[in-house]
Amino acid sequence: MPRLRVHGFSLSLDGYTAGPDQSLTDPIGVGAGPLHEWLRATKTFRARFGKDGGEQGTDDAIAAASDAGVGATIMGRNMFGPMRGPWADDSWTGWWGGDPPFHHPVFVLTNHPRAPIALRGGTTFHFVRDGIESALAQAFAAADGLDVRIGGGASTIRQYLTAGLVDELHLVIAPVLLGSGERLFADTSGVQNGYECVELVTSRAVAHVQLARRRE
Amino acid sequence: MPRLRVHGFSLSLDGYTAGPDQSLTDPIGVGAGPLHEWLRATKTFRARFGKDGGEQGTDDAIAAASDAGVGATIMGRNMFGPMRGPWADDSWTGWWGGDPPFHHPVFVLTNHPRAPIALRGGTTFHFVRDGIESALAQAFAAADGLDVRIGGGASTIRQYLTAGLVDELHLVIAPVLLGSGERLFADTSGVQNGYECVELVTSRAVAHVQLARRRE
């Protein structure tokens, strides 16, 4: 069965998944850089940007597995871009340039209508206005038997979690303190009964925690 | 130099250090048992209660190190007992029975006066009404060159952290979700600049994160 999964989503020790004040110059908020240091150091991530070298251990295996078997991605509007409200025009096509690293359909949750954007390399952004269940149904249909990944951010993952729709949740605990920002786990009471840890490993940089839906 | 340290303090993945509704029957709040499963499984912990066997790896080494070099403990009123407000009488002497596992002076932060309680095995509970700095000065004096440990709970640790008084903070991330309860990291903005991770290891059960005051 295709699964809905979250993969490689980073949390600080104090529970933040992004810093405050997201903007064009701070896509993941101010001061949140250390959260993703583990990922930027991997061979897989560096290769995406044409760079040699990089970590080839646990973290790299996680980074490489992130795309494996995924046929569609769902993300929140704030992960797609820093602007809020109605789309002023069609100039913004995401943070990732003309050849985004998805290579499959991406469903962006938004309240504001916009036509799909097809970019190079197989990535098409679709804008979904009728809720998370609709986005999920469209994503599973587009994934054609493969898994669907929730890219983020925290609010989007939280909505799917509290709706009981997430099958696998892989979190990366970065041993840093951010002090403020956006939490993944806030008002998620009830979620605790649905998941259990199936794997816990550390690299030199971070702890990886794989949660799966608890078996009945 | 003697240090002020927190050792083996458990957090859930969603950031809770205790469950809600602490009471006589739920000393750490409802549903928080899984947080300390790692500790209860260790040889060191079991030996305290006269039991054989137990885990002898990473977790046991941490459990054993918890008491090493510690000459005094500070704790909050809520860690000492479930009652609130003025002490009704002197009958409550803590959760730990007549021979508590501290074997040194323990300073309990409270707003309500109470005479010290000397118990077997070298544990004396002192009740401190004039604030965290006073308790710390008294604890360092009593520790006589050894370290002072903050036993908990979250609120007490947070007060010392935000005051910049903690030298070492060893946290244990239990890969469980509690859903609700008391957070260690809430309104701790500013603390992030003072600490860095100096060790990160996992056992089969949990991730251990050692933070130390950042070197200038």
Q: Which domains does chain A have, with CATH numbers?
A: 4-14+28-84+103-213 (3.40.430.10)
Q: What is the CA radius of gyration of chain A?
A: 17
Q: Which residue of A has its CA nearest to B175?
A: A197
pLDDT in tens, chain A (216 residues): 999 999 999 999 999 998 888 888 888 888 888 999 999 999 999 998 889 999 999 999 999 998 899 999 999 999 999 888 999 888 999 999 898 989 999 999 999 999 999 999 999 999 999 999 999 999 999 999 999 999 999 999 999 999 999 999 999 999 999 999 999 999 888 888 899 999 999 999 999 999 999 876
With beta carbons under 8 A apart, name residues in chain A contacting B183: 15
**pTM, rounded to two decimals:** 0.92
The per-residue pLDDT for A186 is: 92
Structure tokens at A207: 């702890």
Range B195-201 average pLDDT: 95
With beta carbons under 8 A apart, name residues in chain B contacting A204: 200
State the CB neighbour count (10 A cutoff) for residue A12.
Answer: 25
Phi-psi region of A146 (alpha: psi -120 to 50; beta: other; left: phi over 0): beta
* Nearest alpha carbon to residue A75 among A38, A102, A37: A102
Q: Which residues of B83-110 are buried (b: 16+ CB within 10 A; e: fewer)?
A: eeeebeeeeebbebeeebebbbbbbbbb
B212 vs A: CB within 8 A: no
Structure tokens at B158: 């947070």
- DSSP letters, chain B, are ---EEEEEEEEETTSEEE-SS--SS-TT-TT-GGGGHHHHTBHHHHHHTT----B-SHHHHHHHHTSTTEEEEEEEHHHH-S--SS---S----TTTTS-S--SEEEEE-SS----EE-GGG-EEEEE-S-HHHHHHHHHHHHTTSEEEEEE-HHHHHHHHHTT--SEEEEEEES---SSSEESSSS-TTGGGGEEEEEEEE-SS-EEEEEEEPP-
With beta carbons under 8 A apart, name residues in chain B contacting A200: 175, 202, 204-207
For B202, the closest of A31, A189, A201 (CB atoms) is A201
With beta carbons under 8 A apart, name residues in chain A contacting B207: 173, 200, 202, 207, 209
Question: Which secondary-structure segment (H or E) carries A38?
Answer: helix A37-40
* Nearest alpha carbon to residue B203 among B25, B62, B58, B21: B58
ipTM: 0.89
Burial category of A204 from C-beta neighbours within 10 Å (exposed 0-12, middle 13-18, buried 19 and up): exposed
The per-residue pLDDT for B143 is: 98
A209 vs B: CB within 8 A: yes
Grade residue B216 by pLDDT with cuts at 50, 70 and 90: low
